[in-house]
Amino acid sequence: MIDKIKEHIAEVEKFTTESKEAVESFRIKYLGKKGLLNDFFAEFKNVPNEQKKEFGQTINKLKKTAEEKVNTLKSALDNTTAETGIYGDLTRPGEATNIGARHPISIVKNQIIDIFSRIGFNVSEGPEIEDDWHNFTALNLPEYHPARDMQDTFFVQTNPDILLRTHTSSVQVRYMENNKPPIRTISPGRVYRNEAISARSHCFFHQIEGLYIDKNVSFADLKQTLQFFTTELFGKSKIRLRPSYFPFTEPSAEVDVYWGLETEADYRITKGTGWLEIGGCGMVDPNVLKNCGIDAEEYSGFAFGVGIDRIAMLLYQITDIRLLSENDVRFLEQFKSAL
Ligand code: PHE
């Protein structure tokens, strides 16, 4: 008898069908009032005492297996597209999905790309692990040049030729090596400097550098381009260029935007001066053009670089740069509505 029940269990386990009627007759056969299970239960009283335990356990197993089989076959059939159409049950309540947010760095980067693309700049990218040539030497920073100290470099292992790029000027070198003027390109990306981490500075951050090379490009073109940029991004059109030094540009300047002194925050951000420094710029040094295979007699150009993190902090009033890389969802969620 017990063996017979076990055969039924095996049969139930194997059973499958795609028809509702077949499921129903299967149910009746095993679980119906006059079904096999009730027959077996009725048999229970005739079973010798020493077998009762095993017999009981076996029919219970058959019952459970049959019930489970009926339930799974039924729900599988309910969910088939033939029953519910390709959209499923449209009356079921929807599931709330948690929408992600763009990172503030990406928002600002995209805004800047958008502004420069309107005046004909394309986007170029390059590797974060660079060689000495593209990060330094081609940019008029030969070995032992003191200005190399300005950029506290992370070297990869002990090879002094391989490093984490300290600026995206390296991308501009690659671009000039591979493209002929006229060139109008911006290079966004992450850069690395071995600096102490604080609320104001991090050992990695993001830059966008721009490069414009053509015949007769002048400093006035540079100023006009930067002014267009600050007007579009901040709504502030007054800028000033303070003389400065970069090995790869001559003359070079620091770019300040007149932020104003209307609110208390303006005083804090501009340290009471009303002016805010946003980056560096200059006319590309002829040596750099030559290093990249461009005729410096025929062509001239300008370059500039701004820090994306600082601009994001300014626009969103973020007071600690570390928040930008800590991936705290409570912080990131706040940018949901931004773009
Ligand atoms: N590469 C410079 C820096 O990272 C910025 C810069 C770019 C300055 C282009 C002038 C021209 O500090």
Per-residue pLDDT tens digits for 58-72: 989 989 999 999 898
Per-residue pLDDT, 115? 97
Which atom of ligand 1 is nearest to 284's Cα?
11
Q: Is the pLDDT of residue 194 over 60?
A: yes
From CA 321, how far away is CA 309, in angstroms rounded? 7
Mean pLDDT of the region 72-98: 77
From CA 271, how far away is CA 200, in angstroms rounded? 14
| pLDDT class of 247 with cuts at 50, 70, 90 | very high
From CA 184, how far away is CA 317, in angstroms rounded? 31
Residue 232 burial (10 A CB sphere; 0-12, 13-18, 19+)? middle
Which atom of ligand 1 is nearest to 172's Cα?
9
- What's the CATH code, domain 104-335? 3.30.930.10
Per-residue pLDDT, 73? 85
- Which has more pLDDT, 151 or 120? 120
Per-residue pLDDT, 179? 95
Mean pLDDT of the region 37-52: 86
pLDDT digits (tens, 9 = 90+) for 312-339: 998 998 989 999 999 999 999 888 766 5
Whole-number Å distance, alpha carbon 280 to ligand 1 midpoint, is 5
How many residues comprise the chain? 339
Per-residue pLDDT, 337? 65
Work out the number of other CB atoms within 10 angstroms of the CB of residue 304.
22
From CA 274, how far away is CA 258, in angstroms rounded? 6
The response to whether residue 209 sits with its C-beta less than 6 Å from ligand 1 reads yes
Q: Is the pLDDT of residue 147 over 80?
A: no
From CA 75, how far away is CA 20, in angstroms rounded? 10
Whole-number Å distance, alpha carbon 205 to ligand 1 midpoint, is 14
Tokens 């300008």 belong to 302
Which atom of ligand 1 is nearest to 169's Cα?
1
Which atom of ligand 1 is nearest to 168's Cα?
1
pLDDT digits (tens, 9 = 90+) for 248-297: 999 999 999 999 999 888 888 888 999 989 999 999 999 999 999 999 99
Is 184 within 8 Å of 172 (Cβ atoms)? no
Mean pLDDT of the region 235-251: 95
The response to whether residue 192 sits with its C-beta less than 6 Å from ligand 1 reads no
E strands, the chain, in order: 122-123, 129-131, 162-164, 183-192, 204-214, 239-246, 249-258, 275-284, 300-307
Residue extents of the structural domains in the chain: 2-87, 104-335
Average pLDDT over the chain reads 90
| Residue 83 marked ligand-binding | no
Distances (CA, A) of 38 to 32, 41, 62, 71, 295: 8, 5, 11, 19, 98
Q: Is the pLDDT of residue 208 over 60?
A: yes
Whole-number Å distance, alpha carbon 27 to ligand 1 midpoint, is 78
Per-residue pLDDT, 182? 96
The response to whether residue 140 sits with its C-beta less than 6 Å from ligand 1 reads no
122: closest CA among 190, 187, 208? 187
Cis peptide before 104 (omega within 30 of 0): no
